[in-house]
Amino acid sequence: MTEADVGALLRAAVMIVLKLGGPPLMVALLVGLVMSLVQAVTQVNEPTVAFVPKLLAVFATLLVLGPFMQSVLADFARLLFDRLVAVGGS
């Protein structure tokens, strides 16, 4: 395995982290922004008012995107194990 192969695997790992972590983080950001606006308009400064909807939205996102995330992670793990076998066999 050359340095280019290792670099390609690291690049793929970073892209997978972005694919898997991006959607829940974006949902949390958007829900947090909306809840902050609601709190500013209603002048309710209770931290749990923002936390509970954010928690539910992230949970729903993970529930909906879970199969996609599992397949992406399984494919990457399969790729890594194939590369490990190829390196060990050479």
User: Tell me: the pLDDT tens digits for 20-39?
Assistant: 999 999 999 999 999 999 98
Alpha-carbon distance 58 to 60, whole Å? 5
**What does the buried/exposed string (b/e) look like for 69-88 if buried means 16 or more CB atoms within 10 Å of the residue's CB?**
beeeeeebeeeeeeeeeeee
> Identity (one letter) of the amino acid at 77?
A
Whole-structure pTM value: 0.79
Give residue-wise pLDDT tens across range 52-83. 999 999 999 999 999 999 999 999 999 999 98
